[in-house]
Amino acid sequence: MKKLLICMFVAVLSIAAAPVYANDAHHQATDNQKSYSAKGEVVAMDSALSKVKLKHDAVPELKWPGMTMFFNVAGKALLDTVKIGDQVEFEFVKVDGGSPLITKITPVK
């Protein structure tokens, strides 16, 4: 019985630690990716989903024309610094298989 409890305890700890490890790995991957910058206007925000819709200028490094699109945001707190209608400067990384991820966004004064 004691061995069973120890095995169950170890299994629970392994499962509980997995999301933390996966989250750290994600942040390390974004830290090592090339960052791009652009200017744009905040069109819409969804704080619950950590997304922002921007009408942005062209990004020549990626051969992107100016367009309006959704970006994921690295942290909900980034959205606290801007509001709909703001002109912004932002930095983002391209995430394989997903939307670009904004790592910095600031209103332009």
The residues pairing with 88 across neighbouring beta strands, listed in sequence order, are 40, 107
For the chain, the residue count is 109
Joined together, the tokens standing for residue 80 give 């606290």
Q: CA dihedral defined by 11, 16, 21, 22, rounded to 10 degrees?
A: 100
User: Does 92 lie in the same domain as 61?
Assistant: yes
**Same structural domain for residues 56 and 92?**
yes
Q: Answer yes or no: is pLDDT of 17 > 60.
A: no
Same domain for 43 and 11? no
Q: pLDDT confidence of 24, banded at 50, 70, 90? A: very low
In the prediction, which pLDDT does 33 show? 80
Q: CA 54, 57, 60, 65: dihedral to nearest 10 degrees?
A: 80
Reported as a single tens digit per residue, the pLDDT across 43-64 is 999 999 999 999 999 999 999 9
26/9 same-domain check: yes
Using an 8 Å Cβ cutoff, are 66 and 41 in contact?
no
What is residue 109's predicted lDDT score, i.e. its pLDDT?
81
Asked if residue 103 and residue 81 are part of one domain, the reply reads: yes
Say how many Å lie between the first and final Cα of the chain, rounded.
Answer: 67
* Counted domains in the chain: 2
The answer to whether residues 93 and 66 belong to one domain is: yes
Mean pLDDT, residues 25-30:
44
Q: Residue 31 is encoded by which pair of tokens?
A: 């830290």
Closest by CA position to 67, among listed 77, 81, 53, 57? 57
Which CATH number characterizes residue 40's domain? Answer: 2.40.50.320
Same domain, 27 and 11: yes
Domain membership of residue 20 as a residue range: 1-32
Residue 103 phi, psi dihedral angles, 5° rounding: -105, -15
Give yes or no: residues 16 and 38 share one domain: no
Q: Are residues 25 and 45 in the same domain?
A: no
